[in-house]
Amino acid sequence: MQNAINILERYWNFTSFRPFQEDIINAVIAGEDVMALMPTGGGKSLCFQIPALAKDGICIVISPLVALMKNQVQALTDKGIKAIALTSGIHYKELDALLDNCIYGNYKFLYLSPERLQQELVQDRIRQMHVNLIAVDEAHCISQWGNDFRPSYKNIELLRQLKPNANCIALTASATPNVVEDIVKELDFINPKIFKQSFARTNLAYMVFHENDKFYKMESILKKQNAPSIIYVRNRKATLDISSLLTKQNISATYYHGGLSNAEKDTNLNNWLNNKKQVMVATNAFGMGIDKPDVKTVIHLNLPESIESYFQEAGRAGRNGKKAFAVILKNNSDEALVKKQFLDALPTVDFVKQVYRKLCSYFQISYGEGVDTTHQFNFNHFCKTYKFNTILSYNALQFLDRSSVISLSKQFNRQTLVQFTISNTSLFSYLKNNNHLSVVVKSILRTYGGIFDQEIKLNTTLIADKASVKENIVIKVLKQLEKDEIITLSDSKTDAEITFIEPREDDKTINVIASILKQQNALKQQQVASILNYVKNEDICKSIQLLSYFGEKDIQSCGICSVCITKNNTGVKDIKLLKNAIISLLENGDLSSRAILKELPFSEKAINEMIQLLLEHHIITITKTNTYKLAHI
């Protein structure tokens, strides 16, 4: 057995552990069942990776996040550590070979989703492996009261039966006391060692600002804190809109959402990671597995759906230990919007049944069929076809995904179907008069046999490489050929991919998981109520509110959140100073509230309240241009 600190230094170039890491690692190496609760950015992955490297055999890592699995496998591979991830879309023969590699190829890590444990082939190969550790990432998914509960996580108990001598470590960054108790029970821990690092982030200032003009406040923050930032928005369109708005204000920005192509994601991400762009505007699809320690500010332009998701997203700021800010911008319309998005759009059991039936019809799947078939999916076209509400339908599909009825992979794809409709002889006569199209056309003919006889799915990237041109040139050539009636062309774009995990059984399929849907809807109502209470509560320190939610006690006020700062700035003496300061400013001329805010070192809330008080006492008045002036002038 190798020494843990030597492994840390050899592969990660660190000479010491973070708080709690060493204690957790030693307990895992000693064969204990371990529950580790650590905040986002606390170094959870090392807590199972180092023990696995210290012992003979392979570590099986269960994770629900394909992107995170791929990132960790790539990171380990880059260090010369052999690791495999069994993601969706792997064919049986390839799966068979990969599993054999885990048995005979000296691999140290096997990453797989909980759904994979249902496959007999996977179970059979695991029986033959020398498993030294079972690691359950995002362990809160196993609890019905955990954020993003996944019924398939119940399958992990099977893994413990297959390998009863392997100890287990469960890791999460967001679990209430009830969820922790549930995790320990569901994973059948024996005398568990529970390590709970305080979720307190002393360098992170949690701010909630009530703003009529959120965009102005956002710009002000980003100009004041000219450093790497993330802005979370509600939908894909908003990522582009806000990014463009910031660029016009000379704030460099890029954007990220699940519908971008992999190439676009990589380009935008690298520009931000390498500080070529200050701001990343993103949906909540962004952040998992991305390590950028110098993020100064995380701004939520819309209310998050839960304390759990907010805490993880906010926690991406200040991982380098320096002062950082997590800001929520709210206004009077936000409560109605968050209820509309997350509560009004909760799908009923009947609606999920309807979506599932139509989904099967959409892909022409017969009753009892469809298992392991994968289909390109245009979500908007699907909703338009069956006149479904998009948000309600998306939530229904998400539930089917979490319940392992389908696998929904959000990724951009282009599907190009082509068939030549003229004879070979006629085609070459056409090319004599259109020689500029020859290189692309001949590359297609050399690559795809039978394209004169039937419609063929064309890989435009491959043709571009073979013809030594850009992909957009290939598309342009295809459109010209279609216009000249040389080919039939079906060029469609899809934003997702769906794999059916269960055979089609219509209502019977959904009835099995109906009670879970009802329970999850009740949980979502509680979560929305909690986030609304958080943004409304201006009496208790924001850090205390968050930490209390996760069961921490005897917490001190942070002194740096929006509540603490307001309390510190609004003593009797400060109120008099603020009153006199506003009057002094207005003696020199009319000013807007923004102009007053820029001049004075007080919180916006305190200034707005004082302006209201001065208006009520007729000390100041509002002009026709919505500025303020002294009443006697």
How far apart CA 586 and CA 590 sit, in angstroms, is: 6
Tokens linked to 130: 């020398």
Contact 299/231 with Cβ under 8 angstroms?
yes
Q: For residue range 313-328, what is the model confidence (pLDDT) as tens digits? A: 999 999 888 999 999 9
Average pLDDT over residues 507-534: 93
> C-alpha 352: how far from its chain's center?
23
The closest alpha carbon to 377, from 354, 395, 391, 394, belongs to: 394
pLDDT of residue 88: 63
CATH class of 4-196: alpha beta
pLDDT of residue 325: 96
Residue of higher predicted confidence among 305 and 575: 305
Strands of the sheet containing 406-409, edge to edge, are: 374-377, 496-500, 406-409
Q: Report the chain's terminal Cα–Cα distance, integer Å.
A: 83
> C-alpha 541: how far from its chain's center?
27
Asked whether residue 87 carries a pLDDT value surpassing 80, the answer given is: no
Q: For residue range 276-286, what is the model confidence (pLDDT) as tens digits? A: 999 999 998 78
Asked whether residue 570 carries a pLDDT value surpassing 60, the answer given is: no
Residues 6+ apart with CB under 8 A from 5: 15, 16, 17
How far apart CA 624 and CA 391 sit, in angstroms, is: 42
Task: Evaluate whether the domain defined by 570-630 bears CATH number 1.10.10.10.
Answer: yes
pLDDT of residue 128: 94
Task: Evaluate whether the domain defined by 341-412+496-524 bears CATH number 1.10.10.
Answer: yes
How far apart CA 89 and CA 373 sit, in angstroms, is: 9
- Over 233-280, what HEC string results? CCCHHHHHHHHHHHHHCCCCEEEECCCCCHHHHHHHHHHHHCCCCCEE
pLDDT of residue 289: 64
pLDDT of residue 250: 94
pLDDT band (50, 70, 90) for residue 593? confident
Asked whether residue 631 carries a pLDDT value surpassing 90, the answer given is: no
CATH number listed for the domain at residues 204-331+537-549: 3.40.50.300
How far apart CA 38 and CA 541 sit, in angstroms, is: 21
- Over 545-573, what HEC string results? HHHHHCCCCCCCCCCCCHHHHHHHHCCHH
What is the chain's percent helix, strand, coil content, to nearest 5?
A: 50, 15, 35
CB burial string 126-146: b at 16+ within 10 A, e below: beebebbbbbbbbbbbbbbbb
Contact 360/370 with Cβ under 8 angstroms?
yes
The closest alpha carbon to 406, from 495, 500, 497, belongs to: 500
pLDDT of residue 529: 94
- Give the whole-number percent of the chain exceeding pLDDT 70: 96
Q: 591 forms bridges with which residues in the sheet?
A: 628
Asked whether residue 251 carries a pLDDT value surpassing 90, the answer given is: yes
Burial of 468 (0-12, 13-18, 19+ CB in 10 A): exposed
Residues 6+ apart with CB under 8 A from 508: none
Tokens linked to 590: 């009319």
pLDDT band (50, 70, 90) for residue 624? confident
Q: For residue range 12-37, what is the model confidence (pLDDT) as tens digits? A: 998 889 878 999 999 999 999 999 99
Residues 6+ apart with CB under 8 A from 347: 355, 392, 393, 395, 396, 399, 517
Strands of the sheet containing 279-282, edge to edge, are: 204-210, 324-330, 297-300, 229-232, 279-282, 253-256
Least confident span in 190-194, 360-364, 480-484, 629-633: 629-633
How far apart CA 619 and CA 578 sit, in angstroms, is: 14
Average pLDDT over residues 99-126: 90
Residue of higher predicted confidence among 157 and 148: 157
Average pLDDT over residues 67-72: 82
Residues in the chain: 633
Q: For residue range 287-302, what is the model confidence (pLDDT) as tens digits? A: 766 778 999 999 999 9
Average pLDDT, the chain: 89
How far apart CA 274 and CA 547 sit, in angstroms, is: 33
pLDDT of residue 413: 64
Q: What are the DSSP calls for 475-522, one per residue? A: HHHHHHHHHTTSEEEEEEEESEEEEE-S---THHHHHTTHHHHHHHHH
Average pLDDT over residues 444-453: 88
Q: E-strand spans in 63-130?
A: 83-86, 109-112
The closest alpha carbon to 181, from 196, 167, 166, 163, belongs to: 196
Q: Is the whole-model pTM more than 0.95?
A: no
Asked whether residue 573 carries a pLDDT value surpassing 60, the answer given is: no
Residues 6+ apart with CB under 8 A from 335: 303, 532
The closest alpha carbon to 51, from 72, 21, 74, belongs to: 21
Gyration radius of the chain over CA positions:
28
Burial of 87 (0-12, 13-18, 19+ CB in 10 A): middle
pLDDT of residue 374: 86
How far apart CA 136 and CA 142 sit, in angstroms, is: 9
How far apart CA 167 and CA 148 sit, in angstroms, is: 25
Q: For residue range 524-537, what is the model confidence (pLDDT) as tens digits? A: 999 999 999 999 99
Residues 6+ apart with CB under 8 A from 289: 65, 67, 68, 71, 72
Fill in the DSSP letter of residue 349: H
Q: For residue range 408-432, what is the model confidence (pLDDT) as tens digits? A: 876 666 678 899 999 988 998 999 9
Residues 6+ apart with CB under 8 A from 132: 51, 52, 55, 56, 57, 58, 59, 166
Average pLDDT over residues 201-213: 92
Between the alpha carbon of residue 482 and those of residues 81, 439, 451, 458, the distances in Å are 50, 17, 14, 14
pLDDT band (50, 70, 90) for residue 444? very high
> C-alpha 475: how far from its chain's center?
32
Strands 496-500 and 374-377 come out as antiparallel
Q: What are the DSSP calls for 141-210, one per residue? A: GGSTTSTT--GGGGGHHHHHHH-TTS-EEEEES---HHHHHHHHHHTT-SS-EEEE-----TTEEEEEEE
- Helix spans in 21-80 (H): 21-29, 46-54, 66-78
- The conformational region for residue 571 under phi > 0 = left, psi -120 to 50 = alpha, else beta, is beta
Least confident span in 106-110, 190-194, 257-261, 405-409: 257-261
Contact 295/318 with Cβ under 8 angstroms?
yes
Asked whether residue 89 carries a pLDDT value surpassing 70, the answer given is: no
Least confident span in 255-259, 409-413, 454-458, 573-577: 409-413
Asked whether residue 633 carries a pLDDT value surpassing 80, the answer given is: no
The closest alpha carbon to 314, from 535, 140, 24, 524, belongs to: 535
pLDDT of residue 445: 92
Q: 216 forms bridges with which residues in the sheet?
A: none
326: number of Cβ within 10 Å = 27
pLDDT of residue 620: 92
